[in-house]
Amino acid sequence: MASSLTKDAASTAGPQKTFFGHPRGLATLFMTEMWERFSYYGMRALLVYYLVSGGADAATGSQGGGLAMTAATATAIYSVYVSMVYLMAMPGGWFGDRVWGARKTVTVAGFVIMAGHLSLAIPGQAMFFVGLILVAIGSGLLKANISTMVGHLYDGPDDPRRDGGFTLFYIGINVGAFVAPFVIGTVGKEHNWHFGFALAAVGMGLGLLQFLIGTRNLSPKSSVVPNPLSPEERRSILVKVLGVVIAAAVFYGVIIAIGVYTLNWALVPLTLAGLVIPVAVLVRIKRDRDLSGTEQKKMNGYIWFFVAAAVFWMIYDQGGSTLSLFADSKTAGSVLGIDFSATWYQSLNPLYVMALAPVFAWLWLWLARKNQEPSTVVKFAMGLVLVGASFFVFIIPMGMAGDGGKVSPMWLVSIYMIQTIGELCLSPVGLSVTTKMAPQKYASQMMGVWFLAVTAGDCTTGLLSLAGVDLNGTGIIALQAGLAAVAGIAVFMYRKKVQELMGGVR
């Protein structure tokens, strides 16, 4: 029905404007995602620095006015926050499918994210955590649904423009992520934290404004609720949610009243939830009797990829915490006499992705034509070994800076490049294999399951920090590097077994 509506509109309105040969709505979604990522990555570049600012673990001579936390606590908060963003992608997709539809969900998400950044712009620890919660919820709501809306612009999975459209959309993500640390990061870290957070709110506001203006170019499918809740389901869910909220309010009210509340009372339950929920979701799918024998076998194979991805993200996402703290305190802040903010390192990953992703896409096709393309399992093994290698390299500048000196920025430039190459081996392949191995019954939910691997990896980092492990120490860096390398080698050694479980999926 939606297709016929689109064609009718086209026939009466004459030739339609396009965006690089794609539906005009792609420009709207491209710009929305670009500005949302600008706000998200700009704020994320500031997060750890703001948390430690004014405390013993802040870099000498850095701006004050932060929350004066330890590096361990800052790393835990950062890890839990990032994990919650990805955890919220599943309920975000559920809202789009069953409550509001994708378009309304993205609109609400934009306002929630903007409110979160504005809360961060208000000084005070209470408003800071309110802001983090709002940004995490809003990002989760937006993340799943805006990608769905890109798909709605095309005439099914066989539309030849579809892959190119998602490629352009992916460029928007990386453009926003690349620019943000230069703008938000520099203003926030070098001048005023809260001005930086306010700039993130402005960025999201611009994205939301052009989304609202450009909604007329989106597919009518984006306004449809595919599987709306029945009145009985709605009442049941409201009762359950209300019960959980009341129970949590009573519990934390008592904890605060008796004077034993600390930040760990919030961080530990969230961290444990980020580990338990992914396991529970996988177990629920595995125990579903509606799955055929072939689907059960594929799920057994998928668990290998899930665990491997969790190990990868555990190390990779420390680029915004452990590596950021090292960049600020133990890395020279100038090149050829030009000073720069430590937040600029956060622009390296999107820069490398934009530069190298086309190279890898060409490489896999070239190897495929020669019948030499590595299998999905081998690519995962390569990603794990590379992210482990990046931390083995990290040990060298850590040792060099042990006497209080500062190392060359080129060490971090190299480490981020190795990690990005690992990401390009694992992340796009993981998205693809998730769609290929998903049981038919869970086809629309499995992308959320893939994001849960990020949640599990980041919550492992958070749990280590909360347990008092110094993630900035050489020993733990070497241990993580070794774990990733061993995991990669194990995946490679058992590749035939995993390939067998995958069935006909390559």
DSSP letters, 413-453, are HHHHHHHHHHHHHHHHHHHHHHHHH--GGGTTTHHHHHHHH
pLDDT of residue 506: 63
pLDDT of residue 6: 34
209 and 350 both lie in a single domain? no
pLDDT of residue 352: 96
333 and 201 both lie in a single domain? no
Domain end position, chosen among 218, 236, 254? 218
**Is residue 261 domain-resident?**
no
Confidence of residue 505 (pLDDT cuts 50, 70, 90): low
How does DSSP assign 79-90, residue by residue? Answer: HHHHHHHHHTHH
Is residue 238 pLDDT above 60, yes or no?
A: yes
Residue ranges of alpha helices (H) inside 53-124 are 71-87, 89-98, 102-120
pLDDT of residue 504: 65
**Is residue 254 domain-resident?**
no
pLDDT, one tens digit per residue, over 304-354 is 999 999 999 999 999 999 999 999 999 999 888 889 999 999 999 999 999
Q: Measure the CA–CA gap between 477 and 405, rounded to whole angstroms.
A: 20
Confidence of residue 444 (pLDDT cuts 50, 70, 90): low
Domain end position, chosen among 193, 218, 243? 218
Q: What distance lies between CA 433 and its chain's CA centroid?
A: 18
Range of the structural domain that residue 415 is part of: 275-506
448 and 306 both lie in a single domain? yes
pLDDT of residue 9: 35
pLDDT of residue 78: 96
pLDDT, one tens digit per residue, over 274-295 is 999 999 999 999 888 888 888 8
Token pair for 178: 């690349």
130 and 198 both lie in a single domain? yes
Lowest mean pLDDT among 210-214, 322-326, 421-425, 499-503: 499-503
The CATH number of residue 90's host domain is: 1.20.1250.20
**Is residue 258 domain-resident?**
no
170 and 61 both lie in a single domain? yes
**Is residue 264 domain-resident?**
no
Q: What distance lies between CA 404 and its chain's CA centroid?
A: 34
292 and 422 both lie in a single domain? yes
pLDDT, one tens digit per residue, over 103-114 is 999 999 999 999
Lowest mean pLDDT among 37-51, 161-175, 257-271: 161-175
Q: Tell me what percent of the residues of the chain surpass a pLDDT of 70.
A: 95
Is residue 154 pLDDT above 70, yes or no?
A: yes
Is residue 159 pLDDT above 70, yes or no?
A: yes
What 3-state DSSP class applies to 246? helix
Is residue 15 pLDDT above 70, yes or no?
A: no
What 3-state DSSP class applies to 19? strand
Residues in the chain: 506
Could you tell me which residue, 102 or 448, shows the higher pLDDT? 102
Strand 338-339 relative to strand 334-335, pairing = antiparallel
Could you tell me which residue, 415 or 17, shows the higher pLDDT? 415
Confidence of residue 36 (pLDDT cuts 50, 70, 90): very high
pLDDT of residue 1: 39
Q: Alpha-carbon Rg of the chain, whole angstroms?
A: 23
Instruction: Tell me how many domains the chain contains.
Output: 2
Average pLDDT of span 35-43:
95
213 and 320 both lie in a single domain? no
CA-angle at 367, arms to 361 and 372, nearest 5° = 140
How does DSSP assign 121-189, residue by residue? Answer: TS-SHHHHHHHHHHHHHHHHHHHHHHHHHHHHTSSSTT-TTHHHHHHHHHHHHHHHHHHHIIIIIHHHH
pLDDT of residue 169: 87
Confidence of residue 449 (pLDDT cuts 50, 70, 90): confident
* Beta carbons of 426 and 380 less than 8 angstroms apart: yes
Token pair for 443: 């086809």
Domain end position, chosen among 218, 233, 259? 218
**Is residue 267 domain-resident?**
no
How far is CA 337 from each of CA 340, 344, 475, rounded to the nearest angstrom?
A: 10, 16, 34
Confidence of residue 14 (pLDDT cuts 50, 70, 90): very low
279 and 214 both lie in a single domain? no
Confidence of residue 429 (pLDDT cuts 50, 70, 90): confident
**Is residue 347 domain-resident?**
yes
**Is residue 214 domain-resident?**
yes
pLDDT of residue 167: 78
Average pLDDT of span 224-252:
93
Output the average pLDDT for the chain: 90
Lowest mean pLDDT among 93-102, 156-165, 226-235, 418-427: 156-165
Q: Tell me what percent of the residues of the chain surpass a pLDDT of 90.
A: 66
Lowest mean pLDDT among 223-232, 238-247, 479-488: 223-232
Lowest mean pLDDT among 11-20, 401-410, 455-464: 11-20
22 and 153 both lie in a single domain? yes
Nearest of 363, 425, 361 to residue 390 by alpha carbon = 425
pLDDT of residue 82: 94
Is residue 243 pLDDT above 70, yes or no?
A: yes
**Is residue 330 domain-resident?**
yes
191 and 304 both lie in a single domain? no
pLDDT of residue 97: 87
Lowest mean pLDDT among 44-58, 118-132, 428-442, 457-471: 428-442
DSSP strand E in 256-360: where?
334-335, 338-339
